[in-house]
Amino acid sequence: MTLYIHDTLSGQKVPFEPTNPDRVTMYVCGPTVYNYAHIGNARPVVVFDVLFRLLRHLYGEDKVVYARNITDVDDKINKKAIDEGVDISVITNKFADIYNADMAALNALPPTYQPRATEHMPDMVAMIEDLIARGAAYVTDDGEVLFRVADYDGGSGRYGKLAKRSLDDMIAGARVEVAENKDNAADFVLWKPSKPGEPEWPGPKGLPGRPGWHIECSAMSEAKLGLPIDIHGGGQDLIFPHHTNEIAQSCAAHGHSDPAAYAKYWMHNGFLDFSGEKMSKSLGNVVLVHDLIKDYPGEVIRWALLSGHYRSPLNWTPELLEQSRKSLDRLYGILLRAKDIPLQEVWPDDVIFGPLLDDLNTPGAVARLYEIAPALDSMVERNDPARVKTSFMALANVLGILQQDPEVWFKQGASDDLTAQVEALLAERAAARAAKNWPESDRIRDALNALNVEVMDGPQGATWKLKGKA
Ligand code: AMP
Ligand code: ZN
């Protein structure tokens, strides 16, 4: 089974061949923790979680090492800490915990490593020292350390290879601050002095200060995964400057000229749009995951995020969520009817993963679930449907959906009181039926109807769900 992925660096769909199939590595840029994550921030998390699950399925659960960092050193964090009069760790610990809980609600598996920038300062400083020693970086009069972009590029076009742009274009497009201390307008910060009141760490060349954003990921990814990383991912907005600069620093620090020496494959998700624009904190058009999970089961939100191909824009609407809820209700209904079918210990047919192996085609995978579902439904009454159910669940597990007990799923709108009332009525009904007291049994059925409850009788006894669900 070969997995094909679209690689931003080569600009092509290519077969995925890890450097070491016994240790497949993936790094995805994580959040800057000073605020709640919006649903656009959750898109890369869910997309790369499907990839993580797929790689674990293909190579073995203990053969895939996934690092998703926490950026806990940043100007916005400093500002918030100063505004609130607290240490930055008060802000970053709070929002990292909220982030992890919110992403867990979307069924995102915890990554193998979740490195924090503050834990890797010595790695960053060592890398910057190496860059200075190689002449790839320089110290300015005001104590900043900058990376020499033009030297790294050397006229080869290598600096712009990921973004598919020339150095001149990028300088013009990025409107890089014209700073007198720069040898070249494209040079970017590796280390800079902290402002009064901001935290600082011992730095390269004895300069106290704080790292730039890009060096944080270069240091953390190498420390946790080793180079080259197999897959490096993130949102499209990170291609330039963040990932472009990560490649430049990491390659220059080791004297590599081929950008693939840092990461073999690059994958980028498209934007999640809301009211016609990219959802972003700066535009203020955000829907927070923290709020959404109060109103919708996490799987509904996850399904909505996977309903589009990861490289296409995804338009976020209330209808998308309602549609996702209906789709899941339907599939859970089938699983409820098939609940007594055991899972079989057979390796499912490769064909079920076809769409995911083709550049993580999640809409195709969802369509495949729908193709399998009728077979599962029609086999409910027969004797040997275990293989179908096993295949169906194998695909659902890689998508990270249908992870709940179907009975629990359908009861999630019911209060504890209602649940207790229904369970009591069902017990009375079972007793009435055992005593062949049909009028009593009918009376109880009417009472359940009045509670908007539908009863389903099966070989293992009766189950129930709220009406209006599949
Ligand atoms: P940030 O906290 O802004 O650094 O973003 C964390 C991650 O979310 C990065 O991988 C971004 O590329 C990604 N991201 C931010 N906004 C969106 C969006 N509207 N759609 C998809 N991905 C996004
Ligand atoms: Zn990063």
Which domains does the chain carry?
Answer: 19-273 (3.40.50.620), 411-466 (no CATH)
Q: How far is CA 238 from the centre of its chain?
A: 15
Pick 3 or 460 by higher pLDDT: 3
- Least confident range from 67-71, 197-201, 318-322, 387-391: namely 387-391
- Least confident range from 12-21, 38-47, 187-196, 382-391: namely 382-391
30: CA distance to ligand 2 center in Å? 7
For ligand 1, is residue 44 a contact (CB within 6 Å)?
A: yes
Are 82 and 197 spatial neighbours (Cβ–Cβ below 8 Å)?
yes
pLDDT in tens, 50-83: 999 999 999 999 999 999 999 999 999 999 999 9
- Tokens found for residue 96: 């990292």
Q: Which ligand is closest in space to the CA of residue 263? A: 2
> Which residue is listed with tokens 């709070």?
94
The DSSP string of 293-353 is HHHS-HHHHHHHHHSS-TTS-EE--HHHHHHHHHHHHHHHHHHHHTTTSPP-SSPPPGGGG
Query: Could you say which DSSP state residue 465 is in?
Result: E
For ligand 1, is residue 211 a contact (CB within 6 Å)?
A: no
CA-314 nearest atom, ligand 1:
20
Percent residues over pLDDT 70 in the chain: 95
Whether the pLDDT of residue 115 is over 60: the answer is: yes
pLDDT in tens, 141-199: 999 999 999 999 999 999 999 999 988 887 776 555 556 678 888 999 999 999 998 99
Are 322 and 382 spatial neighbours (Cβ–Cβ below 8 Å)?
no
33: CA distance to ligand 1 center in Å? 12
The residue whose C-alpha atom lies closest to atom 7 belonging to ligand 1 is: 41
For ligand 1, is residue 278 a contact (CB within 6 Å)?
A: yes
For ligand 1, is residue 69 a contact (CB within 6 Å)?
A: no
pLDDT at 278: 95
For ligand 1, is residue 35 a contact (CB within 6 Å)?
A: no
CA-274 nearest atom, ligand 1:
19
Whether the pLDDT of residue 346 is over 70: the answer is: no
CA distance 167 to 188: 13
Q: In this structure, are strands 64-68 and 24-28 parallel, antiparallel, or unpaired?
A: parallel
Angle between helices 39-59 and 88-105 (to 10 degrees): 60
pLDDT at 178: 55
**pLDDT range class, residue 297, cuts 50, 70, 90:** very high
The residue whose C-alpha atom lies closest to atom 12 belonging to ligand 1 is: 235
Q: Give the number of other Cβ atoms within 10 Å of residue 208's Cβ.
A: 12
Burial class (CB in 10 A: 0-12, 13-18, 19+), 315: middle
Whether the pLDDT of residue 291 is over 90: the answer is: yes
Whether the pLDDT of residue 45 is over 70: the answer is: yes
CA distance 278 to 52: 26
The residue whose C-alpha atom lies closest to atom 11 belonging to ligand 1 is: 235
469: CA distance to ligand 1 center in Å? 34
- Least confident range from 50-64, 305-319, 378-392, 395-409: namely 378-392
pTM recorded for the entire structure: 0.92
Mutate to test the pocket of ligand 1, among 33, 41, 286 (most ligand atoms within 8 A of CB): 41
pLDDT at 179: 61
For ligand 1, is residue 333 a contact (CB within 6 Å)?
A: no
pLDDT at 455: 86
Query: Could you say which DSSP state residue 114 is in?
Result: -
3-state helix vs strand vs coil in the chain, percent to 5? 50, 15, 35
pLDDT at 383: 53
pLDDT at 344: 78
Whether the pLDDT of residue 470 is over 90: the answer is: no
33: CA distance to ligand 2 center in Å? 13
CA-278 nearest atom, ligand 1:
19
pLDDT in tens, 263-282: 999 999 999 999 889 999 88
pLDDT in tens, 424-451: 999 999 999 999 999 999 999 999 999 9
- State the sign of the Cα–Cα–Cα–Cα dihedral 392, 397, 402, 403: positive
For ligand 1, is residue 280 a contact (CB within 6 Å)?
A: yes
pLDDT at 173: 63
Q: Which ligand is closest in space to the CA of residue 37? A: 1
Average pLDDT, the chain: 93
SS (H, E, C) 386-446: HHHHHHHHHHHHHHCCCCCCHHHHHHCCCCHHHHHHHHHHHHHHHHHHHCCCHHHHHHHHH
Q: Which ligand is closest in space to the CA of residue 272? A: 1
